Structure 1
Amino acid sequence: MFSPKINLLYGCIVISMGLSNSFVWAAESNVEQAIQLPTIKVEATRTNTTSMETPASIFRVDMPKNDQSAQVNLTEVVKGIPSVQLRNRENYAQDLQLSMRGFGARSTFGVRGIRLYTDGIPATMPDGQGQTSNIDLSGLSHLEVLTGPFSSLYGNSSGGVVLATTKEGQGKDSIEMSYAGGSHNKNRAGLVLQGGAKNQNEPSYIISSSYFDTDGYRDHSRAEKILNNAKLTWNLDDGSKINWVTNYVKIHADDPQGLNRTQWQQNPRQVNDANNVYDVRKDIEQTQTGVTWSKPINDQHELYAMAYLGSRQVTQYQSIPQSAQVNPNHAGGVIDFERNYYGADFRWTGKELLPNTTFSAGLAVDTMDEDRQGYENFNLVNGKPSYGLKGALRRDENNTLWNVDPYLQASWQFLPTWRLDSGVRYSNVHYKSKDHYLSNGNDSDKTDYNKVLPSATLSWQILPELLAYTSYAKGFETPTFTEMAYNADSKITGFNFGLKPSQSNNYEIGLKSQNQLGNFTFAVFQSSTKDDIVSAGTSNGRSTFRNADKTLRKGIEFAWNKKFWKDLEMNTSYGYLDAKFDAAIPAVGTVKAVQKGNTIPGIAKNQAFLGLAWKPEQGFYAGVDAEYIDKVYVDDINSDTAASYTVASVYTGYMWKYVDWGFNGFARVDNLFDKNYAGSVIVNDSNSRFFEPADGRNWSAGIKLTKQF
């Protein structure tokens, strides 16, 4: 199964060993030119190792001190990670489209199949649905992106993991004021207050608040967003550390929806509903708070605990005509729900209980309770429907979900240069729906999903500058409540509890090297999935899903970065991902049959990135980058594609510090050559409205002023 890739890997090992030996020789032959390489710690694998020592595909993105973006969404800072495809829909009602090694590409809104965390606190709902809109870029310290088998340690829906870590208050009290503006009347104003602890056992703090609004690139794509974040950190006398994080986000966004190919070619900025009859839009409000605590008991034992709770309200108006809602089983054209969710994670870590070993044992608990209503999206005026108004009740139910996941990890250095990392997690998810709208029958139901998820990684430190590893893990992903909300057959009411969870076998072989020629990573991977959750069509704003018997994803990742002369840096990466249906899917109703060998939609086979930047501590800075994304199929039958594209960005700015004052000003141009391309696709849209056009050439500029007290 892996023989061609293994041959390729062995070739790379031989080459890398030769290169690494030449690095050592060069360093020994000219000690005066030796370069002290930075040590980069990573936390995603919970192994307390450096990035170089971690036997997994993990990438760390540090927020630059000289911010050169408007800090509105992750696409501004997450670039160049191979096999991570982060697409900007130019639609703030639906969030970004994020996939890793093909997992999550089916999502028509939000993030699926990938776990998101901020300061150790889940930004993914217990059912596996997440969003990036509550990540505060102005207070962000760094991101860790974990792909591959190791991510299964996070349980359900962990086809990949993104861990965001916000800054901690330090030094003098300070205030930071910022403003950024740009094309389409974009405006963002931000305020950050921060300071370190004055006395022992007192907290450091950082509080940030921002307001963003835009008219949008497309017609009817106006958006407003309020984002507040606060973090208190205590470093106590006994060595323990406490973080308390609170986050609030409120969004109002109009939704221009997808376009068919003819509409896109005629005018990519138009709204799908040319007369804006339905006034499609979404309102989101979310409040979340959480606490993390870690304490070393002694040199051998350490404890960790996390607890969180939150509430999320969403009201969404869809473009569904009255004629479709005449069906007594229809749930209406307005989605209105409130979710309350909470959870905890407790973990013990023991070191050297056996020679050269580390053990971790934990228990994760999550619960979600949702009150969901559906309403008609019109009122009758003189016998005719007036759309965009909340009408009669058509759906009323209470949905609950909970899981209790025990897990265990172990790391054993059984030889000086060989290490075995292993883990197992029992992931179980329990769904229950209680129907209160009984005029069309009682659709109450419940179901359970569970799976044991083992993982193992063997690594070999060939040289101090070179690590090789191979790993395997089982993956598990349950459908979200949103994915089960509607049946593919509109005549059937209630939840689609017939959806099965997907189960995957994930393999990876990788190399890492850190030396005077830069940081290098290389990985070959394969994921074979049974009962993959795929789209069964999107019509009138309703997304439905079904299972594919077998799918197969395989590919290659490569990344290299290097700091050259003085403050000149280069980053480059390449990802190849071949994602196929590995078995045919029969036709069901109006949903067409899928042939074996078809490409899974929403996934680019090739992607590449090149970035060059001048980043001094002070003074002028500048950078340029270019990204290539291959064509993307829009549906399971591969009837059409969004074409490949290459886009470039360029920026410059000036950063200045003097005593207690700091200043940063920037200007940038994105899509420098005004490429007309689809930022994302709406997979399997039943009306062929697949395409969400990206912005053309656009600019932004901003200033930031900081004062310490």
Structure 2
Amino acid sequence: MRKPLSTSTARLGASLLGLACCTAGAADTTEVAAIGNTAVISSPAAVEMETVTVTATRLPVASFDVPASISTVSGEDLYGNTLGVNLSEALVAIPGLIARDRQNYAQDTQISIRGFGSRATFGVRGLRLYLDGIPATQPDGQGQVSHFNLGSAERVEVLRGPFSSMYGNSSGGVIQMFTADGAGDPMVGGAFVAGSFGTQRSSITMRSSVDPARTIDYIANYMRFDTDGFRDHSAAKRESFNTKLNWQISEASRLSLVLNTFSSPDTQDPLGLTRAQFNADPSQATVQATQFNTRKSAEQNQGGLIYDLRLSSTQSVRVLGYYGERTVEQYLAIPAATQGNPRHGGGVVDLSTQYGGTDARWTYEGLLGGRQLTLVAGLNYDELSQHRLGYNNFVGSELGVRGALRRDERNVVGNLDQYLQASVALTERFTLMAGARHSRVDIESRDRYIVGANRDDSGNTDYSATTPVAGLTYRANDALRLYASYGRGFETPTLAEAAYRPDGNAGLNLDLEAARSNNAEVGAKLRLQPGTLAELAVFHTDTRDELAVATNSGGRSTFRNIDETRRQGAEASVTTLLAKDLRLQLAYTWLDATVRQPYATCVGTPCTAANATVARGSRIAGAPEHSGFAGLNFGGRSGLNAELDARYIDSVFVNDVNSESAPSYTLIGAGLGYIVERAHWRLRGFLRADNLFDKDYVGSVIVNDGNGRFYEPGPGRSVLAGVNLDWNG
């Protein structure tokens, strides 16, 4: 096997940041925010669409002309009349995307796009996540959005379909959040939100230009969040700080520094419930959760530099370098007797991770044979160095405490990718967008815990793939675009999925293959003035070697590759002005996600060998067939505003054999607010109620949980009130 790319992420990160500082001397124009094809717009006036570009495809092409499904959520909607903590709150109106707030802050938001990522039991996998260009998805494909600071966000972009593969490994879809710039008049703002279940969020935001010439500006946001939790044993606290500093060095050059910190100590984990427990009392925690005091602590700090340089009227370059550190300590509910196996890794997971990387790209915008041509060539390198420790979760008869060391290993994952993208106007009506990316992912594990029957489990493996994609856009007229696209993608096993071997031995399961997919999409986009946007997309994806459960034993799940799965369906959305200051949003998704070849799997625990068969045609667990959103918003920049919305999620199977399912549900929410705007200040207050009819429902599911605790209940009726005051100099 080839060796990993490197073993010193810290040195890499430091050198990249240093290099970026030294190269500061000349910039590109900043990339423009997009309304997108299925926009989620902060005010009715914004529906008056302009021709703007999106960053999602890296090509500065008008969003309306891109052969892909792209949606944008504004910063106002991310942090307006909402709690402003969970990304799931702001993504509900995007078709094809399911974002579920687990009501369990020891686990991250559960996000899937067109069925990709639906099987994730914690964190986000199968999707690419970015914060100001810095990956929140690591080279192995595992990601999280807990550190996304919504209070300083300008927008979030969501890319779906074949062009997602241009982001490399685990690109079933792409979600990017961008921090706002601090240019303009100085501003200081404070906000306080409080609601049901002891929930509170307080924050302060500052932005300003530093020098009289306004060549240097910054924005900074600090946020603190506390909750007692809807369920027992689910209290949480989070602190987040995010800042961006821009230096317009010259007309041709710009340097941006982004810094982000996140802390979530001793967050309680109520665990999932069985169906009987959910029916009896959705707010309860399992006995095991309190018995072992299941909890998680996470700390993360990261920083990055982005250097833009316009070389000429047709050429520009962008270089990004970043470095970060993340620590996680998690106490699991694994019985002490189970940990008696000398090869067991223990019931306490202690992870210390350093990560860093760079992305450099060159852009050309000019003419080819009299036709407009845009070309992007780039190089991407990322690396993660993770020290994994495991301990018993008991000392003598005392449970839920750190005990003896049971696992000690160093894992290094790196990727080296090259990509090329182009957009060319073939005729006045047809535009071709195409690209290819070559990716290589290397994994190395070095075992440091070699005791008795626990042998040396070191090893390494690598994965590589070339993922081409192409799309054609037809300009029917000024208001209508038709398009078709096709591409290939791949998805490697994450370290979490490879952490345990089916044979019960310690060390990584390095025999797993990467999944490969073929993706196709056709769609239409309609833009009518004033104020109507509509999108329809039909998609089809075939995947081979997808991962599925192989065994469940000792509190651990192991995985295997299966032959073939299929995800196909349709998305539709409309945003329109019904009258002055009255906006309607509709979104609907049909998803047919099924297994195409039968395979053997494990059901129950302990299960060390296959004891059940997943039949052809079984639905992929965690992926609902139907979902929809409807929202009615009234209001403008000032005065009274109101909202009424409904969300529907179809029933969803919770395991591969489709023997149990979470029921469908419809949730109704409503809000009322008032905005006072003056020359130097703006005051906004709101009151919102969710789940108005107090429905018991399963907010998210833990797919294939070996103990049958599949269900994570959502909260009953809840009320939220908030006030925000901004002062402008």
Instruction: Tell me which interval the TM-score lies in, with the shorter structure as reference length.
Output: over 0.9
Q: How far apart are the structure 1 equivalents of 2:480 and 2:552? A: 47
Q: How does 1:206-605 map to 2 (within 5 A)?
A: 206-252=219-265, 253-273=267-287, 276-352=290-366, 354-355=368-369, 356-380=372-396, 385-439=397-451, 440-489=454-503, 491-516=504-529, 518-536=532-550, 541-587=555-601, 589-590=609-610, 592-605=612-625
Determine helix, strand or coil for the equivalent of 1:236. strand
Q: How far apart are the structure 2 equivalents of 1:37 and 1:679? A: 35
Residue 188 (structure 1) aligned with residue 201 (structure 2)? yes
Q: How far apart are the structure 2 equivalents of 1:290 and 1:96? A: 24
Q: How far apart are the structure 2 equivalents of 1:534 and 1:563? A: 45
Post-superposition CA distance 1:658-680 (Å, at most 9, x none): 22122111110111111111011
Displacement after TM superposition at 1:202 (Å) = 3.5
**1:64 maps to which of 76, 79, 86:** 76
Determine helix, strand or coil for the equivalent of 1:426. strand
The residue number in structure 2 matching 1:166 is 179
Q: How far apart are the structure 2 equivalents of 1:41 and 1:60? A: 11
Displacement after TM superposition at 1:199 (Å) = 3.4
Post-superposition CA distance 1:579-623 (Å, at most 9, x none): 000101124604532111100000000011100001311011110
Q: How far apart are the structure 1 equivalents of 2:637 and 2:550? A: 52
Residue 638 (structure 1) aligned with residue 658 (structure 2)? yes
| 1:553 aligned partner, one-letter code | R
Contact 2:183 2:214 in 1 (8 A): no
Displacement after TM superposition at 1:536 (Å) = 4.0
Q: How far apart are the structure 1 equivalents of 2:572 and 2:225? A: 36
**2:54 maps to which of 42, 67, 72:** 42
Contact 2:233 2:289 in 1 (8 A): no
Displacement after TM superposition at 1:170 (Å) = 2.5
Residue 148 (structure 1) aligned with residue 161 (structure 2)? yes
Q: How far apart are the structure 2 equivalents of 1:219 and 1:325? A: 27
Determine helix, strand or coil for the equivalent of 2:322. strand
The residue number in structure 2 matching 1:24 is none
Displacement after TM superposition at 1:567 (Å) = 1.0
Post-superposition CA distance 1:673-703 (Å, at most 9, x none): 1111101111111111100000111111111
Q: How far apart are the structure 2 equivalents of 1:587 and 1:680? A: 23
Q: How does 1:103-118 map to 2 (within 5 A)?
A: 103-118=116-131
Q: How does 1:640-679 map to 2 (within 5 A)?
A: 640-679=660-699
Contact 2:270 2:289 in 1 (8 A): no
Q: How far apart are the structure 1 equivalents of 2:50 and 2:715? A: 37
Determine helix, strand or coil for the equivalent of 2:546. strand
Displacement after TM superposition at 1:708 (Å) = 2.7
With over 3 angstroms needed to count, the CA separation of the structure-2 counterparts of 1:566 and 1:39, relative to structure 1, is farther
| 1:431 aligned partner, one-letter code | I
Q: How far apart are the structure 1 equivalents of 2:675 and 2:52? A: 25
Q: How far apart are the structure 1 equivalents of 2:356 and 2:726? A: 36
Displacement after TM superposition at 1:513 (Å) = 0.9
Contact 1:200 1:237 in 2 (8 A): no
Contact 1:170 1:197 in 2 (8 A): no
Identity of aligned residues (%): 42
**1:175 maps to which of 184, 188, 195:** 188
Q: How far apart are the structure 2 equivalents of 1:656 and 1:286? A: 37
Residue 131 (structure 1) aligned with residue 151 (structure 2)? no
| 1:128 aligned partner, one-letter code | G
Q: How far apart are the structure 1 equivalents of 2:255 and 2:560? A: 43
With over 3 angstroms needed to count, the CA separation of the structure-2 counterparts of 1:286 and 1:135, relative to structure 1, is same
Contact 1:318 1:540 in 2 (8 A): no
- Structure 2, unmatched stretches of 5+, are 1-46, 603-608
| 2:591 aligned partner, one-letter code | L
Contact 1:537 1:684 in 2 (8 A): no
Contact 2:289 2:333 in 1 (8 A): no
Displacement after TM superposition at 1:361 (Å) = 0.6
Q: Indicate the larger mover: 354-363 or 641-650.
A: 354-363
Residue 607 (structure 1) aligned with residue 627 (structure 2)? yes
Q: How far apart are the structure 2 equivalents of 1:450 and 1:105? A: 24
Q: How far apart are the structure 2 equivalents of 1:325 and 1:36? A: 62
Aligned length: 670
Q: Indicate the larger mover: 472-481 or 232-241.
A: 232-241
The residue number in structure 1 matching 2:170 is 157
Residue 94 (structure 1) aligned with residue 107 (structure 2)? yes
**1:623 maps to which of 621, 643, 647:** 643
| 1:303 aligned partner, one-letter code | V
Displacement after TM superposition at 1:563 (Å) = 2.0
Q: How far apart are the structure 1 equivalents of 2:87 and 2:482? A: 31
Contact 1:315 1:337 in 2 (8 A): yes
Contact 2:687 2:722 in 1 (8 A): yes
Determine helix, strand or coil for the equivalent of 1:276. helix
TM-score for both structures, normalised by structure 1: 0.92
| 2:291 aligned partner, one-letter code | V
The residue number in structure 1 matching 2:713 is 693
Determine helix, strand or coil for the equivalent of 1:41. coil
With over 3 angstroms needed to count, the CA separation of the structure-2 counterparts of 1:174 and 1:587, relative to structure 1, is closer
Post-superposition CA distance 1:287-330 (Å, at most 9, x none): 01111122211111110111111000000000011110000010
Q: Indicate the larger mover: 361-370 or 539-548.
A: 539-548
| 2:391 aligned partner, one-letter code | Y
